[in-house]
Structure 1
Amino acid sequence: MLFNKPNQINMKNLQYYLFIAGSCLLTAFTTLDKTAVPFQDEDRTFVKAAAEGGLLEVKLGELAMKNGSSKAVKDYGKMMINDHSKVNKELMSLARKKQMEVPTTLSPEKQQKYDSLAAVKDNTFDMVYMNMMILSHEQTIGIFQNESSAGTDADLKKWAESKVPALKHHLEMAESLFQTANKK
């Protein structure tokens, strides 16, 4: 019996009902947490890093087309503009569906990289640019592989994994062009 006397609650029953109520709330909050946050900080970090990296690749590609001394480096720059512009649009679309914010400008760190390459005006531009492309693509491949294996959002994981082969191809081309530029 819940009440021993009118307006009195049996302590044993009260503890039982409080336990049940607490368990229900805990279950509700746990379920709510899983459904209200479909992606984690790792996914947000990936989107931000991928967007900033893609923006930088496009801007550096534009510099390469303008300041590169060899046709191969200028062509590589054009490829970076085309490929990374396409990937950037895909990422923006995917992030928009996930209601995630995507940076549209370079971070101070990325802007500093751009500025340092923009300052190179002599015949070392090709070598400096290709070295930047090697380092950038090595880092980007790591970021994309990490998302594809450790991300929490299935769509982002699949998308990141699908971009790794092209990024590896960009890296191989950059390494080859760096060797050529370094021989000059």
Structure 2
Amino acid sequence: MTRTPALAALLASALAFAAHAQQGPTDPQIAQIVVTANQVDIDAGKLAEKKAHGKDVRQFGKQMVTDHSAVNKSAVALVTKLHVKPEPSDTSASLKKGGDENLAKLRKLKGKDFDKAYVDHEVEYHQAVIDAVDKTLIPSAKNEELKALLVKVRPAFEAHLEHAKHLQMELGQ
């Protein structure tokens, strides 16, 4: 399976943070990373709802929109409560850029080619996000409520990864 440039950028950013774990992202940066990562998947899910060839892929896209919108709602409510203003970072910028590049690629595809590309990206993206949550975001979070939110939503990301892998197998990849 080939890695997309967006995913490579995400992984590079996560590894750079891991290498500087004592500095890591700040809580405001983590907040922005969380919101951006979820928005990237919401945007891709909305496109899948419209363009996917297979019913299961369309349904998965819809689930991504629903689930990641709920996570963003929780994240925004928490940072509002904590009076934390999300702060852009290289990682959130990389996520946004990668998400935009993925959407541009997906918009050019149709039918089963769209389904394959969307599902492949979802597998790689969710794995990369889980790795970033485990290796960078949770260890770097200073606020216990922010850390608790990351821990709480992690199983959903794991479930999304497993669902995407299942779809990948069904599509014969």
TM-score class normalised by the smaller sequence? 0.7 to 0.9
Structure 2 partner of 1:99: 84
**What pairs with 1:15-34 in structure 2 (closer than 5 Å)?**
none
Q: Distance between the aligned counterparts of 1:60 and 1:102, measured in 2?
A: 23
Larger radius of gyration: 1
Q: Distance between the aligned counterparts of 1:68 and 1:122, measured in 2?
A: 6
Deviates more, 1:145-154 or 1:74-83: 145-154
Structure 1 partner of 2:140: 150
Name structure 1 gaps, 5 residues minimum. Answer: 1-39
4+ residue segments displaced more than 6 Å? none
Determine if the alignment matches structure 1 residue 82 to structure 2 residue 72: no
CA contact 1:52–1:110 (8 Å) conserved in 2: no
Post-superposition offset of 1:131: 0.6
CA contact 1:127–1:182 (8 Å) conserved in 2: no
Determine if the alignment matches structure 1 residue 45 to structure 2 residue 34: no
Q: Which structure has more RCO (C-alpha within 8 Å, separation ≥ 6)?
A: 2
Determine if the alignment matches structure 1 residue 176 to structure 2 residue 161: no
Task: Classify the secondary structure of the residue corresponding to 1:54.
Answer: helix
Determine if the alignment matches structure 1 residue 54 to structure 2 residue 44: no
CA contact 1:51–1:88 (8 Å) conserved in 2: yes
Aligned residue pair count: 143
Determine if the alignment matches structure 1 residue 167 to structure 2 residue 157: yes
Task: Classify the secondary structure of the residue corresponding to 2:171.
Answer: helix
1:127 to 110, 116, 125: 116
